[in-house]
Structure 1
């Protein structure tokens, strides 16, 4: 297959059809890859959190990012920063697992900032969103991982072992 061609979806929009590995890296056409997340799926928040957690636990944060991105794009405006921040945490973990400490730390911090702003925009005192996620724990996880991956000589992280718990009880 021509590696320089531009893949298109049914609507004619650019869409990379190359298979990907568990960390979202493109593989050569025809190589076995992991099943990709369908794009543009509107899920209920409970389903979004559950599916993203399943993917994070499986060491596939890039794919969890795609689930969060769907919620970010299809959810209510009031929750855009929440889902965008969670997507950035997942991409930050992806980069850290790929060995890109600088990019991973930057995205983890950016996602943590988005979550902090989301929590501050709510009732002020609550650290748990209406979807049961503990924002303080997630931001603490992100900032801690960002600091660790930036340490001199720090190895790439194991995405499954480092996956955050989106909910303390789930």
Structure 2
């Protein structure tokens, strides 16, 4: 039996390197920098970092940034951050070639963020994000390869 990687406080972790879409690589291979588990950004930093990661083709990492905010957000905002995380990981699954998983997560994320469409917090473009998800869901339903899915825009123009 092999020892598991652990954090300094003894919690299990997977320290294997990962590719740009968050897939584990064989030990010893060079991966991309991971989002720190103790990430502590404020709302504006979270949105900016999430957008930066999405813009650079790292939706899995954006998902982790949104997930960090989801875990610490006040209860009334948790569905927002969970929805943003699900949209980002839905895009991750699409880019990994898993349209079924992508569709499921895009639908779940879209449903969660739509709860905020009447009064979008933080200048988030809830309508734009919902339309972006609708577009991808339509493309997935066509059952044809989607060569370059568009990048979502988090903020209203």
Task: Kindly state the Cα deviation for residue 31 of structure 1 after the two structures are TM-superposed.
Answer: 0.4
Q: Which segments of 5 or more consecutive residues in structure 2 lack a partner in the other structure?
A: none
Query: Partners of 2:84 and 2:68 in 1: how far apart?
Result: 11
1:155 paired to 2:145: yes
Q: Distance in 1 between matches of 2:26 and 2:10?
A: 22
> Given that residues 139 and 146 in structure 2 are in contact (C-alpha distance below 8 angstroms), is that contact kept between their aligned partners in structure 1?
no
Residue 141 of structure 1, CA deviation: 0.6
TM-score computed with the length of structure 1 as normaliser: 0.86
CA contact (8 A) 2:84 2:109 kept: yes
Asked whether the equivalents of residues 24 and 62 of structure 1 are also in contact (C-alpha less than 8 Å), the reply is yes
Structure 1 residue corresponding to 2:126, chosen from 129, 135, 158:
135
Query: 1:40 offset after TM fit, Å?
Result: 2.9
Could you report, residue by residue, the CA deviation over 1:3-48 in whole angstroms, capped at 9, with x for unpaired residues?
x542211111111000000000000111011000011322111000
Q: Is the 8 A contact 1:89 1:112 kept in 2?
A: yes
- Alpha-carbon shift at residue 157 of structure 1 (Å): 4.6
Q: Which runs of 5+ in 1 are unaligned?
A: 120-124
Q: Larger RCO: Structure 1 or Structure 2 (Cα < 8 Å, ≥ 6 residues apart)?
A: 1
2:62–2:85 CA contact under 8 A, matched in 1: yes
Q: 8 Å contact 1:98–1:156 — kept in the other structure?
A: no
User: Hey, what does 1:25 align to over in structure 2?
Assistant: 23
The 1:105–1:77 alpha-carbon spacing in structure 2 relative to 1, beyond 3 Å, is same
TM-score normalised per structure 2: 0.93
Q: Distance in 2 between matches of 1:40 and 1:112?
A: 27
**SS of match in other structure, 1:162:** coil
